Amino acid sequence: MTNSDLDAVAAAVRERIDPDEAERRALADAAAALESRVHDALADLPVDADALQVGSTARGTWLSGDRDIDLFVRFPADLDREELEAYGLEVGHAVLPDGHEEYAEHPYVKGDHDGFDVDLVPCYDVPSASDIRSAVDRTPFHNAYLTERLDDDLAADVRVFKRFLKGIDAYGSDLRTEGFSGYLAELLVVEHGGFEPLLLAAADWNPQVEFDPEDHGTRSFSDPLVVIDPTDPERNVAAVCSAENVARLQHYARDLLSDPRESLFFRPDPPALDPDGVRDHLARRGTSAVAVVFDCPDLVDDQLYPQLKKSLTGVADGLDRRGFDVFRRATFADGDGEAVLFVELSVDERPTVERHEGPPVHVRRHAEGFYDAYEGGDDHYGPFLDGDRYVVEREREFTSATDFLESDALFDVALGKHVESTLSEDGYDVLVGDDVAALADSFGAELGRYFVPRP
């Protein structure tokens, strides 16, 4: 490897992701027109407020084709929350007559303008980030911090790094991905002074890794990557980033440094599988797959995926605890279709009997209670001694994974709230063995990623 190889790759990537002059101009024009409309709308209001463009399109760090314009309307900090919300929506609807309301920290208006997706968000104009009244008030400070530090070269490196994170499936702080947010990506590039120095550092990280650009952090975190928000000493910008995504960045940083190539930035998904492909993999692996299939709860992804992950862990642990050894697992969802908890098992059947250990014989009261409970009766073996303990071999509650999944015991495991209500109210299907192959009709891409796993 030489730097020039990596530089050449980065240049080639930039050819594909840098917005060209026409795109920049169109965006600047649209933003200017929107700001002007905001000023017009504000003129009708009995408060003093201003408009501020934020986000990657405000800082030149967006990738060609992104069509998001974020406009924040800053109201005086002493305004009532109800007034702020009312004024915010009034401005929003005036600026985006065809827009609709959404809800984050406050309600806000989202709409289209000249082909751009515009968010028009009201916030408080506070003197410093430590005075914020709502989470969105922090955004203007983020914007100011980065704008001050990003020159054209660093902005270009941010775009390359963001494309790299997309290529390795680590981009996004949504709760499905648990990866790197755009803001985090920008801070890391600024902190390291560019894309390549960031890669060189990440390749050698030994988590927990902590960065504190303003050297003002006041608390400790348990996350593998900690980047103290330059505008908030109490906040880890990388809190959502999972250990796996940190490891993923480390892996591919090494990979790219040792073999610079453009393809890693635009990596296609593994081919989708059809039912025959799933059957072939299961036969080759010799495992037994089971799947709990149900109507996908109607939730936004940031609510849906945590619930699916929690449910998957609950079901897998429930199977494991009953002796059905989990080999691997995954959850798939198709917004307005089905959701799946998919568990691949090493063991899907257990004997009729299970070992049940009692107390040590010398713990007299417990030991006598245990012995008396099991003495006599012909539905078990024992009690007998193993070392200093009583043991009985009694009938196992579930001798197959399917029995467990189809029983009420499924509801004893920790399930996501809406997953639990869906399963109990609308029911669910349990697919076993080769029948899971039919899932490929809806989730062929997901099954492709599952059966052709990569870092």
Contact at 8 Å (CB) between 118 and 71? yes
- The distance of closest approach from Cβ of residue 163 to its own copies in the complex, given in angstroms and rounded to an integer, is 21
Q: Which residues sit in the known binding site for Mg(2+)?
A: 68, 70, 119
> What mask, x for binding its own copies by CB under 8 A, covers residues 323 to 352?
x-x-xx-----------------xx--xxx
Question: Under the criterion CB under 8 A, does residue 243 sit at the interface with its own copies?
Answer: yes
Nearer Cβ to its own copies, position 116 or 327?
327
Q: Which of 355, 414, 424, 429 binds its own copies (CB under 8 A)?
A: 355
Nearer Cβ to its own copies, position 203 or 432?
203
Question: Under the criterion CB under 8 A, does residue 310 sit at the interface with its own copies?
Answer: no
Q: Which of 63, 247, 272, 438 binds its own copies (CB under 8 A)?
A: 247
User: In 3-state terms, what secondary structure has residue 170?
Assistant: coil
**Tokens encoding 257:** 């440094």
> What per-residue string of b and e applies to 34-73 under the rule 16 or more CB within 10 Å gives b?
bbebbeebbeebeeebebbbbbbbbbbbbbeebbebbbbb
Q: Which residues sit in the known binding site for CTP?
A: 56, 59, 142, 162, 171
- The distance of closest approach from Cβ of residue 63 to its own copies in the complex, given in angstroms and rounded to an integer, is 25
Question: Under the criterion CB under 8 A, does residue 414 sit at the interface with its own copies?
Answer: no
Phi and psi for 254 in degrees, rounded to 5? -65, -45
Q: Which of 65, 115, 268, 286 binds its own copies (CB under 8 A)?
A: 286
Strands (E), 197-323: 209-211, 225-229, 232-236, 288-295
Contact at 8 Å (CB) between 319 and 404? yes
Question: Under the criterion CB under 8 A, does residue 362 sit at the interface with its own copies?
Answer: yes
Question: Under the criterion CB under 8 A, does residue 364 sit at the interface with its own copies?
Answer: yes
Nearer Cβ to its own copies, position 193 or 360?
360
Which amino acid does the sequence have at 20? Answer: D
Question: Under the criterion CB under 8 A, does residue 388 sit at the interface with its own copies?
Answer: yes
Nearer Cβ to its own copies, position 300 or 373?
373
- The distance of closest approach from Cβ of residue 242 to its own copies in the complex, given in angstroms and rounded to an integer, is 8
Residues with Cβ within 8 Å of 447's Cβ and at least 6 positions away in sequence, in order, are 272, 273, 277, 278, 332, 439, 440
- Could you tell me how many residues make up the chain? 455
Write the secondary structure of 103-136 as one string of H (helix), E (strand) and C (coil).
ECCCEEEEEEECCEEEEEEEEEECCCHHHCCCHH
Strands (E), 199-319: 209-211, 225-229, 232-236, 288-295
Question: Under the criterion CB under 8 A, does residue 268 sit at the interface with its own copies?
Answer: no
Question: Under the criterion CB under 8 A, does residue 397 sit at the interface with its own copies?
Answer: no
Rg (CA), the chain: 28
Question: Under the criterion CB under 8 A, does residue 203 sit at the interface with its own copies?
Answer: yes
Question: Under the criterion CB under 8 A, does residue 206 sit at the interface with its own copies?
Answer: yes
Nearer Cβ to its own copies, position 144 or 361?
361
Contact at 8 Å (CB) between 148 and 188? no
Question: Under the criterion CB under 8 A, does residue 365 sit at the interface with its own copies?
Answer: no
**Among the listed residues 42, 124, 140, the one whose alpha carbon sits nearest the alpha carbon of residue 79:** 124
* Contacting its own copies within 61-90 (CB under 8 A): none
Helix (H) or strand (E) holding 448: helix 440-451
Nearer Cβ to its own copies, position 107 or 306?
306
Cα–Cα distance, 16 to 163 (Å, whole number):
10
- The distance of closest approach from Cβ of residue 175 to its own copies in the complex, given in angstroms and rounded to an integer, is 17
- Alpha carbons within 13 angstroms on the beta-carbon side of residue 232 total 20
Question: Under the criterion CB under 8 A, does residue 177 sit at the interface with its own copies?
Answer: no
Number of residues that bind its own copies (CB under 8 A): 55
Question: Under the criterion CB under 8 A, does residue 220 sit at the interface with its own copies?
Answer: no
Cα–Cα distance, 46 to 48 (Å, whole number):
7
Q: Which of 72, 87, 211, 390 binds its own copies (CB under 8 A)?
A: 390
Cα–Cα distance, 307 to 440 (Å, whole number):
22
Binding segment for its own copies (CB under 8 A), chosen from 6-14, 24-32, 239-247, 426-434, is: 239-247
Q: Which residues bind its own copies (CB under 8 A)?
A: 203-207, 224, 242-244, 246-248, 250-251, 254, 284-288, 323, 325, 327-328, 346-347, 350-353, 355, 360-362, 364, 367-368, 371, 381-390, 393, 399, 451-455
